[in-house]
Chains A and B, each alone.
Chain A
Amino acid sequence: MNALLAGLAVLIIGDSHMVTRDYLITTLHDDLVAQGANVDSYGMCGANAGDWVYPTTVSCGRAERHAKAGPVIDRKAGAPTYTIDALIAKHHPNLVVIEMGDTMAGYGQRDFPRAWIYQQVHALTGRIAAQNIPCAWVGPPWGNEGSSYHKTFARVKEMSEFLASAVAPCSFIDSTEFAKQGEWPTIDGQHLTSAGYRAWGKDIAVSLDKLASQLPRRQ
């Protein structure tokens, strides 16, 4: 680590991988705090990128965490969504980290919903770019095949390759490069074990640390 994240205000947003205590809202958040970043994390279960842009309600809970405090998790469906504009106005981040992919990849569908994904992604990155804030988009991990989520390695690969071309001006962090297919066990095909979230959080933090050297510093 180069300690380049020290002092940066980092806003992390994500899907269900951020809405349970041992998930990224703990592991990634802690790793960045340990590097001296001022971190605010938000997760919305089942959320697509557009749900952070167009106000609606969450389908299966939401969570948030600030600095060294513990995560506050609300499992109720129907709570209002967080919106990216409001979070940026509240926290004035130097860097926005977006963890999202599994909710948009169309697992179980024959046709990869390319146009719809692009619209979702473009809507969210456009709001961040409009405020000239650097951003990094973290793609989905491999997970496991054969679950009720219908996640497949082929679709994860397709999604990751598509996100790599779709998330600019955000940088793309390809989570499939962190582990081999099936290397990180899951509890349900999609969500990792605690050890998996520790490994994923650490690998994302290392990637962000490398990226931080390229970030413009606010005066």
Chain B
Amino acid sequence: MISAAVLHRLAVGLVVAVALAAVAAAVAAEGRLYPSGPPNGVAYLRFVNLASQEATIVSPAAKIAIPVDDAHRIREFDPVPPNSKLTGTVQLGSASTTIDLTLKPNEFVTVAVSSGTDGLTLTVFREVPSDFNALKSSLGLFNLDRNCADAELVAGDSHQAVVTGVAPGAIGRRMVNPVKVELAAACGDPTKAVPAKLGALVAGDRYSIFVLASATGRQVVAQRDEQAPLRP
């Protein structure tokens, strides 16, 4: 029996339905009395809309719209079955492109939708993080600015380097002590860093900072990561 809460998530999640079906089938097939974690492992997928207009993600199971306001443009990580092909499309205005992803167990994949002179662009960030620690905060710097060859995350008035050397399309990550600190993303000149407004960091939480180019200059979008629960 799938709960009402799960049904609700089915309505809004892109591939959660696929994940739930796979997990449920695996549980039924094994008939194990004491399940020990997701039977076939788990991976996490999220979509981020860094374009200037609403993006629509369509999968075989659902269709969601991601607005452009900072509070909603970064979706939560949805648990999905690893080693399974995940397909769909992304629509941005009249432009459209396909999704064709297969995630590894424990992999976190972020699909960032952005617009530019070349229209709709999808950037896929992949990582298998191991830095889960309830006493620390984890900061991830995602570089979507192709004109920024060497993005960095700096802290405080002295622009102390926290994460450095992040190439376009790549992620840099570091665990830090959970403190209240002014963070900013820079490219080359730290004095021109753009603030990443995260507030006080919380122990055990993970954060994403996206650097992107826009018509008005370099832009930073930052948010604490959220994960949707797996509900077998």
Whether chains A and B associate is yes
* B25 adjacent to chain A (CB < 8 Å): no
Does A186 have its Cβ within 8 Å of any Cβ on chain B?
Answer: no
Per the bound structure, the CA–CA distance linking A17 and B108 in Å amounts to 32
Segment of B38-46, B91-99, B180-188, B216-224 in the binding face: B38-46
Chain A interface category by residue count: 35 or more
Cα separation A167 to B203 with both chains bound (whole Å): 11
**Given the contacts A123-B229, A165-B133, A168-B204, A46 and B33 also touching, CB distance less than 8 Å:** yes
Given contacts A54-B231, A165-B132, A166-B132, contact A46 B34 (CB under 8 A): yes
Cβ of A104: which chain B residues have Cβ within 8 Å of it?
36-37
Q: Which of A50-102 contact B (CB under 8 A)?
A: 50, 53-57, 59-60, 78, 102
The residue on B at minimum CB distance from A166 is B134
Cα A121 to Cα B135 in complex, Å, equals 13
Measured CB to CB, the nearest residue on chain A to B35 is A46
Cβ–Cβ < 8 Å partners of B130 in chain A: 114
Is A190 positioned at the interface, with any CB of B under 8 Å from its CB?
Answer: yes
A119–B44 Cα gap in the complex (Å)?
A: 11
- In angstroms, how far is the closest chain A Cβ from the Cβ of B126? 13
Residues of A within 8 A of B215 (CB): none
Question: Shortest Cβ distance from A43 into chain B, in angstroms?
Answer: 13
Q: Is B230 an interface residue (CB 8 A)?
A: yes
B160 at the interface (CB under 8 A from A): no
Are A125 and B134 in contact, CB atoms less than 8 angstroms apart? Answer: yes
Are B227 and A60 in contact, CB atoms less than 8 angstroms apart?
no
Chain B contacts of A178 at CB under 8 A?
Answer: none
The distance in angstroms between the C-alpha atoms of A118 and B227, with both chains bound, is 11
A113 touches B38 (CB 8 A): yes
Q: Does B200 contact A (CB under 8 A)?
A: no
Contact A115 B44, beta carbon cutoff 8 Å: yes
Interface residue? B79 (CB, 8 A): yes
User: Does A109 sit at the interface, judged by CB under 8 A?
Assistant: yes
* Bound complex: CA A14 to CA B105 (Å): 27
Rounded to whole angstroms, the CA-CA distance of A165 and B229 in the bound complex is 21
Are A105 and B37 within 8 A (Cβ)?
Answer: yes
A48 — which chain B residues lie within 8 A by C-beta? Answer: 35, 37
B35:A103 contact, CB within 8 angstroms: yes
Subset of 21 A-B contacts with CB under 8 Å: A45-B34, A48-B37, A50-B229, A50-B230, A60-B33, A106-B37, A106-B38, A109-B37, A109-B41, A113-B105, A115-B44, A116-B38, A119-B229, A123-B229, A125-B134, A149-B34, A166-B132, A167-B134, A168-B135, A168-B203, A190-B34
Residues of B within 8 A of A (CB): 1, 3, 5, 33-39, 41-42, 44, 79, 105-106, 108, 129-130, 132-135, 203-204, 227, 229-231
The chain A residues found within 8 Å of chain B, CB to CB, are 16, 45-46, 48, 50, 53-57, 59-60, 78, 102-119, 121-123, 125-126, 149-150, 162, 165-169, 190
